[in-house]
Structure formats: C-alpha cells, structure tokens
Chain A
C-alpha cells in the first residue's frame, strides 16, 4: 500500500435494511479504492450489493437503509457528512450514470435543460444561455451529432445508446474527479455497448478521472479496467489487477465468473454458469457465503468464515485461495 491519499477510498462499508437492520445487510464490509486516471471494475451477480453499496457511499441509499463504515473522497470523510455538503460533491466532483438511460432521464424535460441543470446546480450565477452552450459542448464531447438540434429534444426521441451518451454528458458536466458508472451498458445492444465503453475510455483519458465501472459481466472489464473487485453477497471476495485476475484467479467464484464469459472464438454455444443462486438478503449460509455453490468447498467452508489471503496487490477471501488453480469448469 502506498502512503498517498487515494482519490476515493471505501473502508468496511456496511448497508443494512429494515428497522434495526432486521432484514439483513446487503453490503457487508466492502473496502476498495480508486485513483485519478484509474479504472476500477466492480463485478458481481445481480443482488450482490454493487448498486446499493456505491449509492450509499454517496449518501444516496434507499430510505430506511443504515450505512456505516468509512468513505473518503480526497481524504474527506463522506459518511455522516451533512446533506448539503454531499450535494455539493454529487454532480460536481463525483458523477454517476445508471443502467437504464431511458428511465434515468426526466421524460418531461428537454435533454438540454437536464444537462444545463447539472451545470447550473454547481455554477449558481451562470446564465441559462451559457449553461445551454456548455450543454451543447458536452453533447459534442460524447459524440452526439447535431448537438444544437438535439438539445431541444426529449429523451424519448433518442436511441438507447444516444440516451446513455446524454447521461454521460450530464455526469461529466462539471469536470468531476470521479465517475461511477453502474452497469452503463447492460440495457444496451451489443454493438452499442462497445461504443459506450469507448466513450467512457476516451473521457477517462481526456479528463483524467477515476472511473468505477460496475458490471455483472467480467468480460466487459477485460479490456477496460485496471483493477477489479469481485463482489459476492455484499463482500469483496477478490481484488487484483485485471491481468493478474484473469491469469491467476484466486477465488473459486472468480473462476466461475471467468468461465461464464461467452467465448466468441469457441464454436459451441454452451455457456457455463455458476450453479445455484446467491443468498437472499438476511439468509446467509454459515461459514463462507459462497460455500453452497462452491465446487471445491470442504467442511471448514461450511463452518468458518474465510480469512483474506494477500499476495502482493492481489487478495482473495477463501480458505483455499490461490490453491486450487484447476478451472472449475
């Protein structure tokens, strides 16, 4: 670990639901960090707590959720920060984009107004005109043709890919330091997915932002992430540089995820998938949360929560981390 302050650092983040947390924890002590110009991929199945975790880090947790732990942005603690101060960070220093660009945009506001709003919320004395000019530049930045005309249109007049570009333009409207993209391509066609990833990669280069890329498809991260955090049932089970992760996955769950990446070069279309389903909120198995689905689980896995094994910049939380390198497939 280097001594400098990371751009964004989450430590032991927990999010519990229900009165007194009675429904259980959706996020159970996540720790991760990302730096300027770096792309951190967060991967995990649906319901693993990726969205809830990142939203809670910015104070956007669902009503009734209890958040604890530490979230530091440029060294400043965000958990427990007054709402007003959090608002100042959101949309200005930290941008966010979501999975479904259609439902994420206000249907009764023009695209121009929505982007201009993002600009003016953090530049109080900027005129509407100037903000719309800025919005036009932003549309051009994310390669939307005819930005002048597009500004006056409503979200439903855009295609899915174009809408996601609008969301990206809005998220980077104030030159943020950090961009959190929550499954930005999941709702899009395969061909459009690649384009959106290119836009994000391009922006990261140009604006030197830190990027957190949330996905449930490890394949998306292969070409785009620098480091990857694998999340299972609200915990980070493995974290490593992307090449290291693919070359030497230390956790059986990661191996399963890698095996489930559709392989374009193989002709048979039989797709591997990890058997079973992740535990429901508040219904964790004893021992390792992954043990009922694990192909290499032993007795100890059913009784004892595993420790985290660290090998340089690579860590995995498994009783048999880095040991059973035989593919689970």
Chain B
C-alpha cells in the first residue's frame, strides 16, 4: 500500500557505528527481507523505520513523507516481535482490537474487523481466549492479526519465527507471505535464516557489519552474489584459485584445465591468481558434453537428502560439495571411489574482496 525509502541512513550508539550508509527504496506491496548474521544491524534498521531508534544521519520516508522525526505512534506502522508481545491482560479479540480502538474506530466496525482478521489467520473461534492459553505459533498469528488490523502502511517483522519449532516455522512463513500478498502490504522481514529469506521474499538485503552488501531478488543474490561475504552467507559455495590466462576473454586455468569465465575478471593481468566460486549444483557428476572441463575427484562423503544427494569430495586440491539428483536406477558413488566432475566457466562467480 505504500512506498518506503531510506536515504543514506546511519546509526551509531556512542562511538560504535552500527548501521552505515543504508539506502533502500521499496515499492508498493513489496516483501523485503533483511538478512545477515546476528549483530549486523538488522534490528536497528527495522527499529529506525518503526521510530524506536532515531537515525544519526539520513532520512526515512513513507509514501514520500519524511517520518524521520515522528514518534512510532504517528507513523502508521504495524510491528511484530520475536515473542511475548501480546498483551497478557487482554483476550485475543481485545489484542487485535487494540489498534482500532486507539484509532477511534467504532464498536461495530471494530468487531467486524476483528472477526475478519481472526478468520484471515485461521483462528476464528479463539477470540475469547487469553494469550497464555495459546501455543507459540497461535500467539504469533494473533500478533500478526493485531499488527495488520489498523491497516498500517508498512509491516515490520523482527525474526517473528525464531522462537518457534522448525515445523511451525516453515508453515507459518508461508502463511505470513500469503496474507501479505492478499493484503498487498509493504513488508520488511528480518531474519538470519537464509533459507527463510530465500523462500518468501521479493527482494533480499544482505547485511554485513552494518552495511547493505547486496540488494536483489533471491535469484540474483544466490546466483550473482557481488561480494565474497554474500556468496558465503547465502547457500553453500565451492571456492577455487584459478590462474588468469587472458583477462579480456575471461580465459583462466583450474588445475591446468581451461575455463572461460563469462564474469570477466576486470583489472586482472595474465599470470595473476583469482578466486572463483561454484555452487554445488554447478558441479556435475560424470563426464558431460555440455560442460567445458572435466576434473577427477575423490568422494569423501555421501549425504542422501531425498530428491537430492549431496556429495563431499576432494577436487583440484580443495574440498567441494556437489549435488546430484537421486535416480532410483543409479546408486550414488561410494566414499573413497574416484569420479569425474564436469564444470563450466560461465557458471562461476568471480569473487572480489
């Protein structure tokens, strides 16, 4: 329902810079995740948008209006916390109605809206319960309903699933995404779980030490990470040292075998060494005509994961992970055996810095 813009936002606590030069423009109805390790400043960014912290420098705009100096209560935001944020003295219905009551919405409309919201979160009959009578997952759904009931411009979620057990976490994240799409509400979702971020976001901001390292769709972040940090943080990565042969044409060698990088190593000269990375699914077990090069590898470990089998192997002197699809008629290689692995330069990611 709204656009959100952060213009070069900085935040320091005392002498410690926690967020640096954070820029972001979100379109209407976008679902964006802030992803990064613990302590990288995700919560601080979210709390600045909410108004619980004020930026040391920079502006925050909602729908083109500068809200940098408004109090949280004036910003028209909805917020969902990690846990324990429902008002224990109020029923589920009263919790959901709270924001509407504050806004002065009349009783009849309020009750209708509360009923709508409870239906939306799949708990239509629990309006009279108290929070302590609900499971963790139910409490978080009520917290979502409470945040959404006053129809905020922006929805902010700070690791709302991290206190739940694994199964509920997966089903609830899908539900949150569905409700978000249904209501078309601009949403920032904070998480340190890359799989969670990948599976439900329109775009992801990967944060590292208070800086937005990369902003992009899950596809871009995963396949075209722009920094070594992003590449390592998101998914599994195999890194190799290659020798540059012809930088202009992207020619390099890995263990004396030729590779052609489509990602040109700008600034490198012939004879330099360079780091490249390949995802486990870019390494193909066996010889293949569709690939540029084949290297021998020794299998160390076999993890059967269902439709996918992950192999750990030694290749070109480094430990690598590679994925292969399970085929009922072909048993996977056994640990200790020698195999051939095919790869192509155009699937490699050149790592700078």
Same complex origin of A and B: no
